[in-house]
């Protein structure tokens, strides 16, 4: 029998309400012992929480969720207490003293939901992303994954591939009169449909990963182009040192922001120029490297003749700086002129990329998708060889199915659980 676990599921510290969660076979018995008569399932009622000697700890609200219709698939009790640290400590001490109960570790409740088929692995990852979400785009993406969007796609792909494998295996196992004369066209079409969908997921996975981790926008330009001043204006604080002395910025300075719901990390880089200063040379090299790796580059130029000193991509932004001194159209990090238009331009570029997003949000997802696509490519070649390679083609299709099953955690799940649950809070 599984142990009954308990933990504070709301944020620690002083609050209006603190929520304690219990899950396991003794969750209801422990609640009855601490609070008296149990309420009807799924009905929030008031009860007195008392210590072992009968002294009142708090006036609480309690709700019960019987198995299997609970978050974990087990009996779950939630205690809603006044959110003072003293009340929470006393309640946790009361539970710790009961036999058969143990404090939960990070992700233990969600792990039980996975083990009891209340969530699959991608939904667990979506829940983790939702807990970490800082922007609207991150929230929407996490909710989509948590709601089972990836699971639904995997089920569709799996069904198509099972059909393809069954058709091929039928030609091996049964007499010709019991199966269609030629199943090749249908098998190839099924695999082509799945591969096209997998490739779309792969293309959108980088965007999804950037929404989860944040887009990087590098501000680049020559020394004294106003990069640090622009960064400070965008950040609304003095994140970078500004000076009229060329080469002041020696390292990459990062500022994380929410731009129209998109997570963005702005990078202030060293001024790009040839220099004999060994320390500045390191900064310039780092600036070039980070600019090349960034999702978007904003090139600041202080004169009309000045050209970019880094390779720019098609939708990178070139804008004139220090218009407060030189006039014309562009931006001024000092006065704020043109800042709104620049932000709108950055948001437009990144929003257009975000439209490509699918449901594969992690490197693990992309690896499984690529593995499935590669095995299907091999299967197509084998199908083209005719009946003598049918058994090999069927095995390649089965391998693609296994890759997709690993994606949602039906197989090979233990390797990734430790990494996933390491980021979970104790009460989840």
CA 49 to chain centre: 38
> What mean pLDDT do residues 282-294 have?
78
Integer Cα distance of 99 and 120 in angstroms:
31
Reported as a single tens digit per residue, the pLDDT across 51-65 is: 999 999 999 999 999
Residue 428 has a CB neighbour count (10 Å cut-off) of 20
pLDDT, greater one: 262 or 221: 262
Question: Does residue 24 or residue 416 have the better pLDDT?
Answer: 24
Work out the end-to-end distance of the chain between its first and last CA atoms, rounded to an integer number of angstroms: 21
pLDDT digits (tens, 9 = 90+) for 379-419: 999 988 888 888 899 899 999 999 998 888 775 545 445 55
Q: For position 218, what pLDDT does the model report?
A: 87
Residue 95 phi, psi (nearest 5): -70, -40
The pTM of the whole model exceeds 0.85: no
pLDDT of residue 241: 44
In the block, residue with structure tokens 């030609």: 171
Whether the upstream peptide bond of residue 68 has omega within 30° of 0, thus cis, is yes
Q: What is the mean pLDDT of residues 27-47?
A: 96
- Asked whether the predicted pLDDT for residue 186 surpasses 70, the reply is yes
Rounded-to-integer distance, Cα 15 and Cα 377, Å: 56
β-sheet with 56-65: strand ranges across? 45-50, 56-65, 76-82, 17-23, 4-8, 101-103
Quote the pLDDT of residue 243. 39
pLDDT band at 250 (very low <50, low <70, confident <90, very high): very low
Q: Which of 70-74, 146-150, 158-162, 239-243: highest mean pLDDT?
A: 70-74
Tokens of 251: 């390292």
For the cut 90, the answer to whether the pLDDT of residue 207 exceeds it is no
pLDDT, tens digit, 9 for 90 and up, residues 79-122: 999 999 999 999 999 999 999 999 999 889 999 999 999 998 89
For 31, what's the count of Cα atoms within 13 Å in the CB-facing half-sphere? 33
């Amino acid at each position: 029998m599984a142990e009954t676990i308990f933990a504070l599921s709301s944020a620690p510290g002083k609050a209006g309400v603190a929520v304690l969660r219990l899950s396991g076979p003794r969750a209801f018995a422990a609640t009855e012992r601490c609070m008296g008569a149990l309420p009807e399932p799924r009905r929030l009622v008031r009860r007195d929480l008392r210590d072992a000697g009968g002294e009142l700890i708090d006036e609480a609200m309690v709700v019960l969720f019987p198995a299997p219709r609970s978050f974990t698939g087990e009996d779950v009790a939630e205690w809603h207490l006044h959110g003072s640290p003293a009340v929470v400590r006393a309640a946790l001490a009361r539970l710790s003293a009961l036999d058969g109960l143990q404090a939960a570790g990070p992700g233990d409740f969600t792990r039980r939901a996975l083990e009891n088929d209340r969530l699959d692995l991608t939904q667990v990852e979506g829940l983790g992303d939702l807990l970490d979400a800082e922007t609207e785009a991150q929230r929407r993406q996490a909710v989509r994954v948590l709601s089972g969007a990836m699971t639904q796609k995997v089920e569709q792909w799996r069904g198509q591939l099972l059909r393809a494998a069954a058709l091929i295996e039928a030609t091996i196992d049964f007499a010709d009169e019991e199966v269609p004369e030629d199943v090749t066209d249908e098998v190839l079409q099924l695999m082509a449909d799945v591969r096209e969908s997998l490739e779309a997921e792969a293309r959108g996975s980088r965007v999804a990963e950037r929404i989860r981790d944040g887009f990087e926008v590098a501000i680049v330009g020559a020394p004294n182009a106003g990069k640090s001043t622009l960064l400070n204006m965008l950040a609304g604080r003095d994140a970078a040192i500004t000076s009229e002395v060329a080469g002041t910025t020696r390292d990459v300075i990062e500022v994380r922001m929410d731009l129209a719901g998109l997570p963005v990390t702005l990078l202030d880089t060293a001024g790009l120029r040839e220099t004999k200063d060994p320390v500045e040379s390191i900064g310039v090299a780092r600036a070039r490297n980070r600019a090349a790796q960034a999702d978007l580059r904003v090139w600041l130029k202080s004169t009309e003749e000045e050209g970019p000193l880094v390779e720019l991509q098609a939708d990178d932004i070139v804008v004139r700086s220090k218009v407060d001194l030189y006039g014309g159209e562009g931006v001024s990090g000092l006065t704020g002129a043109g800042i709104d238009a620049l932000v709108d331009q950055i948001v437009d570029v990144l929003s257009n990329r975000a439209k490509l997003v699918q449901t594969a949000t992690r490197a693990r997802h992309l690896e499984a998708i690529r593995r499935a696509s590669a095995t299907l490519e091999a299967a197509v070649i084998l199908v083209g060889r005719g009946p003598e390679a049918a058994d090999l083609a069927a095995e390649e299709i089965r391998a693609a199915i296994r890759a997709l099953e690993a994606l949602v955690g039906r197989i090979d799940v233990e390797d990734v659980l430790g990494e996933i649950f390491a980021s979970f809070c104790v009460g989840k």
